[in-house]
Structure 1
Amino acid sequence: MGGYQGFGKYRGIVSARAADESIRSVAQDGGTVTALLCFALETGDIDGAVLTRKADERWTPGQLVATTEREIRESAGSVYALSPSVFQLKEAAREMALEKIAYVGLPCQVVAVRKMQLYPFGGRYVGDKVRYVIGIFCSENFPPESLRNIVEGYAGTPIEKMRKMYLAKGKFNVASDGEIRQVSVKKASHWAQDGDHVCPDLVAEYADISVGSIGSEPGWNTVFLRTRRGEDLFNRARDQGRIETKDMETVQPGLKTLEKLAVAKKANAKEAIAKREQMGLYVTRDMYY
C-alpha cells in the first residue's frame, strides 16, 4: 500500500479494533492500543507502559506507569490536554527498574523519545529500556485550562459532566449524559498550545505503531505498522484473536481523507515557521522533518 503523501515510512496500514467488547466499551474508538498493551504485558513483551489518563473529574491529565492489565484498561480513552508523560520514563526505568517499557504518546512526544534513544545524555539508561513506542494521531492539543474553556465556555457543558471528547468532521464534540454538543475545530484551535502551529506531524511518523481514528469507520482505528518490531507485536496479537482487522482500502472515508489532513498539517507548519522567521522569532528548524 503506497502512493500516499504525508504519512512517513510504514510497512503496512490496516483498520483495526480490539476483539474484546469490554475494552471497546471504554475506549476512545476501537481500543486497539489498550488491546495491544494488555497482550504485550501478558506475553512478557513489556513489563510496564507509560500512559496518560484522566486524573480527576475536571479532566486534568495524569501520568501513569501501568504494570497491570487493570491499570492499562483504566487508562483507556483520550484526554485532549497537555501531559508531560515523557518524564515518567525515568520513573519507570530508574525507580521501578522496568526493563521492557511501552510508551504511548503524541507525535511530538514520540520524537522526544526517539531523540532520547539517539542522544541519551539526560536520559541515560532510560531510552534503551523502551521496547515499543506507540504514537497517537494529533492535529492539536490544549493546555488544561484551555480545554475547560472550550468545554464550558463554548460547548456550555460543565466539564465534570463530560463523559468523552473527540474530533470528527471538523467538530470538537463534547459528550455528556444524553447529549453531544459541538464546537467548530476552527474556533477551538485558538486555544491550542502554541507549538501545535509549527508541528508538521499528524500521524506519529517515528513510532513503531501509529494509531488514530481518521479514515476508519466509527468504532475502528486506523493503524500504521512502521517498524518490524511494531509489526511483529501487532501480527501476533491479531493471530491470537486479540485484534480484529479490515483491509484499509475497503473502508470509508478511507486514507484519502487522512492524507489530505496530514499534507495540510505539514503545509500549515511550514507556513507558520516561515512567518515566525520573518518576525525574527526563534524556530527549531529540525521540527520540520
Structure 2
Amino acid sequence: MQKNNISTITRNALCTACGACAGICPSDAIKMITNTAGYLVASVNGDLCNNCGKCLEICPSNPENLPSIETGDPFHGVCIAGYVGYARDNTLRQISQSGGIVTALLCYLLDQNKIDGAIVNNFSQEERRPQAVFVSTKPELIEACGSYYAQSSVVKTILENSDKRLAAVVLGCQAESLKLIREKYPKINLPKLTIGLICAGQYSRKMIDDLIEKSSCNHERILKFRFRDKAVGWPGDVHIVSSEKDCWISKQNRLRLKPVYELHRCIACYDQMNIFCDIVCGDPWGISNKQQPEGHTVVIARTEAGKKLLENAIRDGAIVLEELSTKDIFTGQTVDGRHKTKFYTSRDIFQENNWLFPFPKDWFDNITYTPANRRTHHELDKRLEYSRDLYLTRDREDYFRKTNLKKKQLMGNLIKNLFNRVLYYTKTKK
C-alpha cells in the first residue's frame, strides 16, 4: 500500500523545502536533503513513517489543502494599508535589502521586548548555503541582512523554536504552511508576527556555486555571500567576501542564471504577494521617485496586528513610511498582467501534461486575467518542462549536461538579441 506521506509531493517536483513536514513528523521520518540538482527536498524514511498523514495536511503544495482565505482574490489578499519607506537608521538602511524595513522592524520588536528572537536566513560558511536560524540579538539580525534566493527550511526552524516568542521572515509558501498548521494544530505555538517577502521564486542552491565560480574567490573560504548588495546602489550586485578579498559580480550575471536554476513549483505559484502574512515587504518596482540607490521598501499591512506594529514603529522613530496606494504596489509588481498570465498558463500546461497541480482549482475561478499568446505559452511550456526535468534528475553527469546545454541556449539567445538590436539601430540611423 502506498503510504500517505509527503513523498507524493517530491515525486512531482513540487517540494518548496519549507520543512514543515520534517518539523511536524511525530516519528522523525522526514529529513531535508539536497538532491542531485541542488534543490532542497523532503526525503521520507519508509521504515520510520507511520502513515499518519500529518506532513500532507500542512504542505503548501498539496492541492487538497484549503487554508481559510478572507478574500475572493488570492492574487491580492487582504490589504488594510499600503506604504513606501525606509529604516530610520541610515546605516541599517544601507546594509539591508531595499529600504531596510524588515530588519528595522525586527530590531524594533527586540528593543520593545515583544519577541525573544526571530527566524531569519543567514549564510552558512561551512556549507556555502543559506540557512534558517533563530537569532536573538541586533548584531545577529544585522549579520543576516540581505536576500537569499536559494531554499532554506524556514518552517522547520520555526517549529524547532516553538517554545519562544517569535517573529519570522517568510515566503508565501512558508506563510501558507504556517496558516495550515495554525488551523489544524492550534496548540502549536507559532510566530506572534510574520513579515512576508514579495517573492519571484526560489532557485537551486547550486546557483550560489555557479556565481562563486565566476568570481576570483572560488578557491578561498567564503565568509559572506549576498545575491544583492546595495553598496553599489539599489537593486544591488552579487557580493562575495572571502578570507582574502571582496568579489563583485554584476546583477546581469545573476539574472542570466535564473532560468538555469529556477524551481519548478515556483514558476506555477500564485502567491507572489504573500497573502497569509501580517506584513508584506518588497522592492519599489514601478513606484516613481522611490528607486534611488539608497533604497526604499513597499509595504502592505494585511492584519490589524501588522498595521499596529507599523504605526508604533513610525511613532517611535524606527522606520519612516508614507502612505501608498496598494493598487500602485500591485501595478509595479505586474500582478494583474504578467503574473496572472503566467499562473493561468502554467495551470493549463500542468493539465495538458497530466502533472499534479499544487493548488485547489476552485480558488481561481471567476478571476479576470489576460490569456497568453502562442509564443508566451510555448516559452512557459519549455521553462516548466526543463525545470521539472532538472529537479527529477538523478544522475550527476546528466545534470551537468542539462545545465550546460541550457546555458549555451541562453547565451545563443543573448547573442541573437544583441545582433538584432544592433541591426535595428543601424537601420534606424540610415
TM-score range, shorter chain: 0.7 to 0.9
Q: Which residue does 1:269 correspond to in 2? A: 343
Distance 1:26 1:259, change over 3 A: closer
Structural mapping, 1:49-198, within 5 Å: 49-56=118-125, 59-93=128-162, 97-98=163-164, 100-120=165-185, 125-126=187-188, 128-149=189-210, 151-152=211-212, 158=217, 160=222, 164-166=226-228, 173-175=237-239, 177=246, 179-181=248-250, 182-183=252-253, 185=255, 188-198=258-268
Q: Mean Cα displacement is larger for which, 185-194 or 23-32? A: 185-194
Residue 311 of structure 2 is aligned to residue 235 of structure 1: yes
1:20 partner letter: D
Shift of 1:74: 1.7
Structure having the higher Rg: 2
1 CA distance for matches of 2:236 and 2:155? Answer: 26
Out of 221-230 and 55-64, give the one that drifted further: 55-64
Task: Name the SS for the 2:132 alignment partner.
Answer: strand
In 1, the alpha carbon distance for the partners of 2:257 and 2:336 equals: 20
Task: Give me the TM-score of the superposition, normalised by structure 2.
Answer: 0.57
Q: Using the aligned pairs only, state the percent identity.
A: 21
Q: Which has the higher strand share?
A: 1
Report the CA distance shift for 1:91/1:188 in structure 2 as closer, same or farther (over 3 A).
Answer: same
CA distance in 2, matches of 1:233, 1:209: 9
Corresponding residue pairs, total: 270
Query: Root-mean-square deviation (CA), in Å?
Result: 3.0
| Shift of residue 67, structure 1, vs aligned partner | 1.8
CA distance in 2, matches of 1:72, 1:264: 34
> Which of 213, 226, 234 is matched with 2:302 structurally?
226
Moved more, 260-269 or 139-148: 260-269
Structure with bigger RCO (C-alpha 8 Å, 6+ apart): 1
Q: Which runs of no fewer than 5 residues in structure 2 stay unpaired?
A: 1-72, 241-245, 365-430
The CA deviation string for residues 226-285 of structure 1, in whole angstroms up to 9 with x for no partner, is 110000011101110000123436xxxx63652424642232122112211221111123
Corresponding residue number in structure 1 for 2:282: 212
Q: TM-score, normalised by structure 1?
A: 0.82
Unaligned 5+ runs, structure 1: none
- Using the TM superposition, give the Cα deviation of residue 148 of structure 1 relative to its aligned residue in structure 2, in angstroms: 2.6
How far apart are the structure 2 equivalents of 1:284 and 1:214? 29
**Alpha-carbon spacing, 1:56–1:162, altered in 2? closer, same or farther (3 Å):** closer
In the TM superposition, what whole-angstrom CA distance separates every residue of 1:15-66 from its partner, at most 9, and x where no partner exists? 1211112312321221111110111122122222111111227741112111
Distance 2:280 2:217 in 1: 32
